[in-house]
């Protein structure tokens, strides 16, 4: 296989954009095709920013160019707000929008194509023909499919490898710090708060405000509350939005039915005071269903699966965006260093990224089983840490 020059990337989220930026800076002819007709926004609210997620910004500009804020303390609290443990961990946090927009600004606008949904592709030994729902097609030497957990490419390549519901969801949302009482702002000024529940757990952490401010009082507070809903009627009812549409993976802000919102707020009485205030101050909570997904392969000739299209680890390791970024950096290195032997370069990339995805998925799955069903999650557990490669890293 000859070295590729024209790269088509399907999916314009953080993983696709990171890949696009890196390969474009490598001198390749890169185009990104995003099915949404408008610039993406408000996806996922807050995110934990592991080093790999913002590696591009650190290497480009150093500390001053980072897209996240640091919280030096990881704290567990009891239902009455009593502090159970406090560890100096210095994890970093941001919003999905902040990271996405920074990457979008780094990629040429005329190469980022909105309203282009891939329906299928056909490949030969020399290239790939990509076809779009809106009509038309494009040719590429290499097709990178970063089209998420509902990947069209994965359905075509591996119809047997589909997401499996884990038995619980994450209720999520953000509240403006300005809407919280002073004592809550003080509690959250330099700390992420965790509370272990029975079953489940909830965490709250600060992210930049809508204007990018990281000053206490001007930021947003992001909550993630893991709650069990058995597969079947309970889950289907929860995922049916206020317009009667049953959602497959998430119910966006503004679409959750009033009855479920009322139940969430009523259940907040079990939460520690500061955490409860964040949940109750959140105007539009939304729902993210938790799935397991692993693929046995990521390379199919001149077509690649990466990011959530290949592995969807449960969020407990906070490695979703970091894994997509790691896939992108490893692909950059493989294409840069692979000379003319594309097949060998992609094979090495596949081996390393399959191993990384499997390890992260296994660890996050074990954490989820402990917290949601095993009842063995305990406050202050040093092994319960974020990390792509291992706990804390």
pLDDT, tens digit, 9 for 90 and up, residues 79-135: 999 999 999 988 999 988 889 999 999 999 999 999 999 999 999 888 999 999 989
Phi, psi (5° rounding) for residue 265?
-70, -35
Q: Which domains does the chain have, with CATH numbers?
A: 6-59+98-163+292-370 (3.50.50.60), 72-94+166-291 (3.30.9.60)
pLDDT at 342: 87
234's CB contacts (< 8 A; 6+ apart) are none
The per-residue pLDDT for 393 is 76
User: So what's the pLDDT on residue 339?
Assistant: 65
**pLDDT in the model for residue 91:** 93
Average pLDDT over residues 217-238: 95
Tokens representing 318?
């906070």
Mean pLDDT throughout 201-218?
Answer: 90
Please state whether 22 falls in left (phi above 0), alpha (psi between -120 and 50) or beta.
Answer: alpha
What would you report as the CA-atom Rg of the chain, rounded to the nearest whole angstrom? 21
**Mean pLDDT of all residues in 15-36:** 96
Calpha distance 387→65 (Å, rounded): 22
Q: d(Cα 34, Cα 78) in Å, to the nearest integer?
A: 44
Report the alpha-carbon distance of residue 384 to residue 393 in Å, rounded.
Answer: 12
Put residue 370 in one of left, alpha, beta given phi > 0 → left and psi -120 to 50 → alpha. Answer: alpha
What is the rounded CA–CA span in Å between residue 235 and residue 233? 6
Q: How far apart, in whole angstroms, are the C-alpha atoms of residue 37 and residue 20?
A: 19
Query: Phi and psi of 127, rounded to 5°?
Result: 180, -175
Residue 154 contacts by C-beta under 8 Å, 6 or more apart in sequence? 145, 147, 161, 162, 295, 305, 309, 310
pLDDT at res. 44: 52
Give me the pLDDT at residue 138, please: 96
Angle at 293 between CA 288 and CA 295, to 5 degrees: 155
Q: C-alpha dihedral over 69, 72, 78, 83, to 10 degrees?
A: -140
What pLDDT does residue 213 have? 86
Q: Is the pLDDT of residue 233 over 80?
A: yes
> Quick one: DSSP state of residue 133?
T
Segment 246-263, tens digit of pLDDT: 999 999 999 999 999 999
| 63 — pLDDT class (breaks 50, 70, 90) | low
**What is the structure's pLDDT at 42?**
56
Q: Across residues 64-77, what is the average pLDDT?
A: 87
Helices 342-369 and 320-337, packing angle to 10 deg? 170
- What is the value of pTM for the model shown? 0.93
């Amino acid at each position: 296989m000859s070295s590729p020059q024209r790269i088509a990337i399907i999916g314009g989220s953080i993983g696709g954009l990171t890949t696009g930026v890196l390969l474009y800076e490598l001198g390749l002819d890169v185009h990104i095709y995003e099915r949404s007709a408008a610039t993406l926004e408000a996806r996922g609210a807050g995110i934990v920013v592991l080093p790999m997620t913002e590696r591009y910004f650190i290497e480009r500009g150093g500390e001053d160019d980072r897209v996240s804020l640091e919280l030096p303390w990881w704290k567990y609290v009891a239902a009455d707000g009593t502090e159970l443990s406090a560890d100096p961990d210095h994890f970093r946090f941001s919003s999905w929008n902040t990271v996405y927009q920074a990457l979008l600004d780094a990629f040429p606008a005329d190469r980022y194509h909105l309203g282009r949904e891939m329906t299928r592709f056909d490949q030969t030994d020399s290239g790939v023909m990509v076809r779009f729902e809106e009509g038309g097609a494009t040719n590429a030497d290499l097709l990178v499919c970063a089209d998420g957990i509902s990947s069209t490419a994965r359905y075509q390549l591996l119809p047997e490898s589909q997401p499996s519901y884990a038995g619980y969801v994450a209720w999520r949302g953000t509240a403006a710090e300005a809407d919280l009482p002073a004592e809550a702002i003080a509690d959250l000024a330099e700390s992420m708060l965790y509370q272990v529940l029975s079953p489940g757990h909830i965490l709250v952490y600060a992210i930049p405000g809508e204007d990018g401010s990281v000053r206490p009082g001007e930021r947003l507070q992001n909550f993630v509350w893991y709650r069990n809903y058995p597969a079947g009627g309970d889950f289907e009812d929860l995922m049916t939005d206020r317009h009667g549409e049953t959602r497959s993976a998430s119910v966006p802000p503004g679409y959750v039915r009033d009855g479920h919102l009322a139940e969430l707020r009523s259940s907040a009485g079990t939460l520690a005071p500061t955490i409860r205030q964040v949940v109750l101050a959140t105007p539009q909570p939304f729902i993210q269903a938790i799935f397991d997904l692993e693929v046995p392969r990521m390379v199919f000739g001149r077509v690649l699966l990466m990011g959530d299209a290949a592995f969807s680890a449960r969020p407990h390791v906070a490695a979703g965006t970091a894994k997509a970024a790691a896939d992108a950096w490893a692909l950059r290195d493989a294409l840069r260093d692979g000379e003319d032997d594309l097949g060998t370069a992609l094979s090495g990339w596949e081996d390393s990224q399959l191993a990384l995805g499997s390890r992260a998925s296994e660890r996050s799955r074990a954490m989820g089983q402990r917290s949601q069903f095993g009842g063995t999650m305990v406050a202050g557990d040093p092994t319960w840490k974020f990390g792509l490669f291992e706990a804390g890293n």
